[in-house]
Amino acid sequence: MVTQRDLKAEVTREKILEAAAEEIYRVGYQSASLCEMLKRLGISKGALYHHFASKQELGYAVLDDVLAPRAVAAWDAALSAEDPIEGICRLLDEEEQFLAGQRLACGCPINNLAQEMSPLDEGFRQRIERVYRRWHRAVQNALAGAQQRGLLRPEVDANEVAYFVIASLQGAVGLAKNSQDCGIFRSSINGLKKYLHDLKMPAT
Amino acid sequence: MVTQRDLKAEVTREKILEAAAEEIYRVGYQSASLCEMLKRLGISKGALYHHFASKQELGYAVLDDVLAPRAVAAWDAALSAEDPIEGICRLLDEEEQFLAGQRLACGCPINNLAQEMSPLDEGFRQRIERVYRRWHRAVQNALAGAQQRGLLRPEVDANEVAYFVIASLQGAVGLAKNSQDCGIFRSSINGLKKYLHDLKMPAT
DNA sequence: AAGAATACAAACCGGTCGGTCGGTTTGCAA
DNA sequence: TTGCAAACCGACCGACCGGTTTGTATTCTT
């Protein structure tokens, strides 16, 4: 049975998760101060450590419950389109809008954690790898499907292209994050778009 | 006049720089412990703070005196070749060998710092952007030159391609770093190579 | 040879970190 | 109504951080 108390506790847990995700996004996991985050939330340390055993477990939960679902859903949605190339291009445009909105200097939350934590903590590494693998599988499947339907050139290597697309996007986000210039993102992504369109079956 | 003492001091300074570069490469700037690094070096804190005013200044010096020169030199060397496409491909192979050697899980020192520090410290951001700009300029110039010599298709946008190449490489390194799998780097880079070769003037 | 300056050593400082723990409130079950 | 456990609070802890200070050996200058 779900009581009123359980609901309130769940709300607290999710408030903590949300705030932690934001704090980690802003300054990175290692530099994210729990005290700072709690102060902003108006929640005590006791509450935090009631819901999470350690900072590490909180970090894992942020990935599992907040970042990974969002990230995976975005790609799955984009690739559900008829033409995966167009789907990916739409995703790239969405990403540009997201960055341009405000968070240009913060980059991609997943990629940030990957670069910071994967050499230091196996738990983070594995969780992030799971996300990348789902991205890759989704792209690869979509490309292979389109290829079977005759939309893509037969010599296209879906596996290879999938890795290349993901890497290029992550790289472009990283480049733009550093320069704080969305134009660089756009230029870089333009290159990717042209590449993708060249994979299509030429009109006969 | 350069005295014997100056020489010894310079050696100490460079030992500190080298060790700091290594420590930062391993765990990131913010988590790099000066004590840890000094312990490994067998050098005291007094020595460190005699040569550098703060951790920040040490970090800047690592970038200016160690990382940036190396990074820029590698690209300049690769692009001095007759055919820039081939030059870039050779650079990509070198990068693969570097990663495969041992430091796969550590990624690219410049990119690591960029992702970690650019939102937090303007000094780091500007220094790294200078590196990226030199990379971009080198690639763009090389491509434009090759284009003039008739090696590249005339519709190629050298500016755009330069950004795309840099982003893709950085992204591939980041992806491989997380998965700790050099095969993923190779796949991703293969996509980039094919793209680059398609920029060449078709044999008539 | 004497003294000033340099290069380094090491003890030490305040501050912040993640984490703990005893106490208090709150809501549900009996 | 009451007993009790879950939810939460916040003072507190030791560890470690970057940075300072003080001391000393060596080396250059005069």
**Nearest-angstrom CA–CA distance, B172 and A164:** 7
Does B204 score more than 70 pLDDT? no
pLDDT tens-digit profile of B54-102? 999 999 999 999 999 999 999 999 999 899 999 999 999 999 999 998 7
DSSP letters along chain A, please?
---HHHHHHHHHHHHHHHHHHHHHHHH-TTT--HHHHHHHHT--HHHHHHH-SSHHHHHHHIIIIIIHHHHHHHHHHHHTSSSHHHHHHHHHHHHHHHHHHTGGGG--HHHHHHHHHTTT-HHHHHHHHHHHHHHHHHHHHHHHHHHHTT-B-TT--HHHHHHHHHHHHHHHHHHHHHHT-HHHHHHHHHHHHHHHHHTBPPP-
Does A102 score more than 90 pLDDT? no
Residues of B with Cβ-Cβ distance to A165 under 8 angstroms: 191
Determine, for residues B163 and A188 on separate chains, whether the beta-carbon distance falls below 8 Å: yes
Q: How confident is the model at residue B187 (pLDDT cuts 50, 70, 90)?
A: very high
Backbone angles phi, psi at A29, to 5 degrees: -70, -50
Could you give the percent of chain B with pLDDT greater than 90? 91
Does A45 score more than 90 pLDDT? yes
**CB-based burial label for A152 (10 Å; 0-12, 13-18, 19+):** buried
Distances (CA, A) of B139 to A66, A70, B90, B165, B189: 39, 36, 14, 9, 17
Residues of A with Cβ-Cβ distance to B175 under 8 angstroms: 132, 163, 166-167, 170
Min Cα separation B157/chain A (Å) = 9
Could you give the percent of chain A with pLDDT greater than 70? 100
pLDDT of residue A24: 97
Closest by Cβ to B187, choosing from A129, A159, A190: A159
